[in-house]
Amino acid sequence: MQKYIGNKAFYRTVLTIAIPVMIQNAITNFVGLLDNLMVGQIGTAQMSGVAIVNQLIFVFNLSIFGIVSAGSIFGTQFYGKQDYHGMRDAFRFKLVGNLLICLFAMGLLFFGQDFLIRLYLHGSGDSAELALALTSAKEFLIILLFSLPFFAISQAYASSLREMGKTMVPMFASSIAVVINTALNFLLIFGLFFFPALGVRGAAISTLIARIVECAITVYWVHHHVEDNPFAVRVYHQFSVPLQLVKQILRKGSPLMANEILWAIGQTMIVQAYSVRGLSVIASLNISSTVSNLFNIVYMALGGAVAIMVGQLLGADKFDEAKDSARKLLFFSVMSCLGLGILMMVVAPFFPEIYQTEPAVKSLASQFIKVAALCMPMYAFNHASYFILRSGGQTFITFLFDSVFTWVIVLPLAFVLSTHTTLSIVLVYLCCQLVELLKSGIGYRLIRSDLWVKNIVH
């Protein structure tokens, strides 16, 4: 078992990296739930409008994550070999890339807002409800657009801090932002005390202020502790990124960015395939995903720990240590999520009861939660495998492993089972989850091949 279980120092390092990320994600997911509930108190049409905008912003967020992840592959390995000049160049790439994506997204969402929002406005609602949803969405979006640059900048800084294993500052900044967002939501959505009742505009203003605060805290701390953050030393002096590094990052990172966007679209289409079984299925899946997101924070954070620890070792040419750490992290992630899956199974019958909906929807949601709980160790294995492969720069393989698998295997299976069989939707959902065991087998073979054990920053 020594091959799979590390010492106390090993787990201390893992938890130092992962726990702040878990806390940050837990707070974010919990407050996201509160936001939906608060906007839902205004009306269903307003809540639908906000949900549509959040779906559009989600694609932007994934694009930012793609740029940041591409740069971080190199930034982590540069830090591992103590090449702070290279790390500074990787940070500059992320900052410029994020701002370019931001400008493109702002232009697209501003000029194409009417068309994009109307793509989602279908269903059984009358024309007045659809018009109100459209108006609410546009009011929310116009204000939210101003928050995109602050999010783009803060993510560039936060990712470089995480490359060094410093996750406390991003967690602190995000936590403060979440508290501010929640407090302002109460004040501005409902007009408490002397504040005006602004409805969805209040929700957007709250998010904008929270993003500004989060960005300000992160940037201020980094530049007032430059001795601890070598990538920030004279970072804006003679600002440039070596063309050779740009080519390297784009070559390695393009599949990564494409993967994030295509995966998100694929997941959306899978849900669309399920939706042919009725609106109750969509409502049940929404409830199920809410509780799943709260439990998923563990393996999501451990995936980040994998990327940081393994990437630093690869950058330092410590290949045997990298393989040993990858194996132990993979085992730790799976065993942790086995325990969480059992806990999630216990919670399954009770969580849907907090929603004001039909008993049939609650029952279906409970069954979906049980399926997700059963598959939790598999999710953990696949997620950790993805980051192990990515840490060695195998971004094209991770593209095949993630997005291509979703589009070629999972999506067609979901469509065929939903539309051409009489299987219950729970069995359809179970089959589509369990097919990812095939991905687990592929991931296991790829990791065993040592194809990923490379230093990409010689």
Domain boundaries in the chain? 1-241, 251-457
Give the mean model confidence (pLDDT) for residues 13-40: 74
Three-state DSSP at 376 gives: helix
Residue 33 has pLDDT above 70, yes or no: no
DSSP state for residue 234 in the 8-state scheme: T
Residue 121 has pLDDT above 80, yes or no: no
Which residue shows structure tokens 């194996």? 327
Residue 279 has pLDDT above 70, yes or no: no
Distance CA 321, CA 89 (A): 27
CB 36 within 8 A of CB 48: no
Distance CA 116, CA 134 (A): 10
Predicted local confidence at residue 124, as pLDDT: 47
Residue 231 has pLDDT above 60, yes or no: yes
Give the mean model confidence (pLDDT) for residues 108-123: 80
Per-residue pLDDT band at 192 (split at 50, 70, 90): confident
Which position has the higher pLDDT, 42 or 404?
A: 404
In terms of Cα–Cα distance, which of 116, 74, 247, 228 is closest to 161? 228
pTM over 0.75: no
Distance CA 111, CA 94 (A): 26
Residue 102 has pLDDT above 90, yes or no: yes
Give the mean model confidence (pLDDT) for residues 144-171: 89
Let me know the angle formed at the C-alpha of 143 by 137 and 146, rounded to the nearest 5 degrees: 130
In terms of Cα–Cα distance, which of 175, 444, 159 is closest to 307? 159
Distances (CA, A) of 37 to 31, 182, 350, 355: 10, 12, 18, 10
Predicted local confidence at residue 278, as pLDDT: 66
Residue 234 has pLDDT above 80, yes or no: yes
Distance CA 455, CA 93 (A): 20
Q: What are the CB-based long-range contacts (under 8 Å, 24+) for 318-325?
A: 319/453, 322/391, 322/453, 323/450, 323/453, 324/3, 325/6, 325/10
Give the mean model confidence (pLDDT) for residues 371-383: 92
- Mean pLDDT, the chain, whole residue set: 84
Distance CA 254, CA 248 (A): 10
Predicted local confidence at residue 32, as pLDDT: 62
CB 322 within 8 A of CB 387: no
